[in-house]
Structure 1
Amino acid sequence: MTGQATTVSATAVECVRAAITETCGGFEQRTRLLLERNGLPEPERGEWYPLANVRALYEDLHSTTGRNIVEQIGVTFPRVTDWPGGVDGVGAALAGLDGVHRDLHRGEAGGYSFTRTGERTGRLVCDTPYPAAFERGVVRGIGKRFGVDTGFVAIDDHTRSDGATVCTVEWWGERGTSATARLGTSSDTEFVTGD
């Protein structure tokens, strides 16, 4: 899926730093050490970094701090990343996610495919080099940034045999609608509240 020459923008690396700092608070020195240990200096706007180093950072984080911090990086991603103009809700943000991803990478880095299945439901296939916990966090972060009223998002996700993460998503509070939709609960469904 990924080539040797694939690089990632400083914006994506900054997202990692911001999420660790916000989540762990007071761990700026540890964050700097994690970045340096994986060959990623303090991110500088306009710079590009090897995808292999970013993937190593995610693996390092997962093994030393667990899945939650990786998911929190995904939650932070939509907030610190520029989205195209005209995105007015969760569905439009999910549809625009592939373009945002491609803008942050040079070379082959997979992508996202979103299909609406209803007024406030859809299917997102995440075929990127990033962990499933990150992808789940991205969907949660989109709900927080682009949802209105309650900003609730329900996610049911699984990993396909080819390694892609598939998220079935239902959201509430799309711009111009009420937050009255309901979803039956299951053990795989998570409700995420916006800030």
Structure 2
Amino acid sequence: MTRSTLSSHVEVYGQSVQALVNAMEFLKLRAQRILASHGIESLQADKWYPMNSVLSSFNDILAQVGPHTTRAIGHAIPKSSVFPPAIFSFETALQSLDQAYRMNHRGSGDIGSYRYIPGVGRTAQMVCDNPYPCDFDQGIMEALYDRFPPKGSIVLRIEHEHTGCRAKGARSCSYRLKW
């Protein structure tokens, strides 16, 4: 999904945008300047902000600071954003990811989604057709694993499948998860 397919009527909850600033610990001033350059000058957790401005800020962070910071922002999302109650495991967290995404976005327009497909044993597939960067989505999945560590699991492996990538113009990215 490209930015051009998004409705200008979609907004992102400020509490979620705050994850961007929080994740850039030593670069908070830079994060605030980048947000301000896209019209988000006084970030407040209980306000809503245009999704196009948030995505433009992500693009600037990716270009200026790099994918590791974008992944760190994804890591901060589960701590900063609104999530549904009754998440008790890594798998229920993955299943609830699309619902959490919709709780933090509002307005009319196609915002994409997160689709959880259970696998055999300790595997699953996540299909992400939202407009956020790949590293951001992978950071979210890693943070959910850290927050709800599966019993007996040592590490989460995330493999970006070769079926397409949003960064290269595909509609979605698909990730194979093993834990």
Residue 151 and residue 4 in structure 1: after superposition, are their counterparts in 2 closer, same or farther (change >3 A)?
farther
Alignment RMSD, CA only? 1.7
In structure 2, which of residues 24, 48, 52 is the aligned counterpart of residue 20 of structure 1?
A: 24
Matched, 1:141 2:149: no
Aligned-partner Cα distance in 2 for 1:53–1:43:
12
Give TM-score, length-normalised by structure 1. Answer: 0.79
Count matched residues. 167
Aligned-partner Cα distance in 1 for 2:176–2:24:
27
**8 Å contact kept, 1:144–1:151:** no
Structure 1 match to 2:175: 167
Structure 2 match to 1:153: 156
Give TM-score, length-normalised by structure 2. Answer: 0.86
| Large movers: runs of 4+ above 6 Å | none
In structure 2, which of residues 119, 126, 129 is the aligned counterpart of residue 127 of structure 1?
A: 129
Which one-letter code corresponds to 1:88 in the other structure? Answer: F
Query: What are structure 1's unaligned runs of at least 5 residues?
Result: 172-195
Structure 2 match to 1:62: 62
**8 Å contact kept, 1:123–1:169:** yes
Structure 2 match to 1:178: none
Query: What are structure 2's unaligned runs of at least 5 residues?
Result: none
Residue 166 and residue 153 in structure 1: after superposition, are their counterparts in 2 closer, same or farther (change >3 A)?
same
Give aligned-pair identity as a percent.
Answer: 24
Which one-letter code corresponds to 1:90 in the other structure? Answer: F
- Structure having the higher Rg: 1
The structural deviation recorded for 1:148 is 4.9
